[in-house]
Amino acid sequence: LDLSEQEILDTYKNRWYIELFFKWLKQHIKIDHLYSKSPIGIWNQLFIALITFGLLEIMRLSREPNREIWQFLKTIRQYLMDSWEEVQKEFNRKRKSSKGRQKIPDKRRKVMNFGFESAIVSPISKEHYTRK
């Protein structure tokens, strides 16, 4: 109760920045579980994750600057157990520039079958559908 209003606001603001930092870690670096409860263990895990993220970003900028970091990380994870030559082949592979064959919308009216050609006990008339 002896804190001033400004000190309380600053404490809450710093707490909010810490929450945003942990949210960023969970979403982007995939730290969703802390393996240690000691402060040194938590710091070690955070440092290892941040160093890994930094190294991946350096690799991405030197190899594939046009790709997003998450696409780059996905490729690295796919080829994790393969040789580096396989990863290089994937990075050097030609990308499709087009969206493929585009479908042209069909302007013809579709013929609706109202049950006259099939065996229905009580057929529904065409007027039943057109009245709705």
Dihedral over Cα of 53, 59, 65, 66: its sign: negative
Q: pLDDT tier at 113 (50, 70, 90 boundaries)? A: low
pTM, 2 dp: 0.51
- Tell me the mean pLDDT in the region 16-35: 82
- Higher pLDDT: 57 or 117? It is 57
Q: pLDDT tier at 38 (50, 70, 90 boundaries)? A: very high
- Tell me the mean pLDDT in the region 2-9: 88
pLDDT at 120 over 60: no
Q: Chain centroid to CA 132: how far?
A: 43
Specify whether the CB–CB gap between 91 and 63 falls below 8 A.
Answer: yes
Least confident of 18-27, 45-54, 90-99: 90-99
Exposed (0-12), middle (13-18) or buried (19+): which is 73, by Cβ within 10 Å?
Answer: buried
- Higher pLDDT: 40 or 34? It is 40
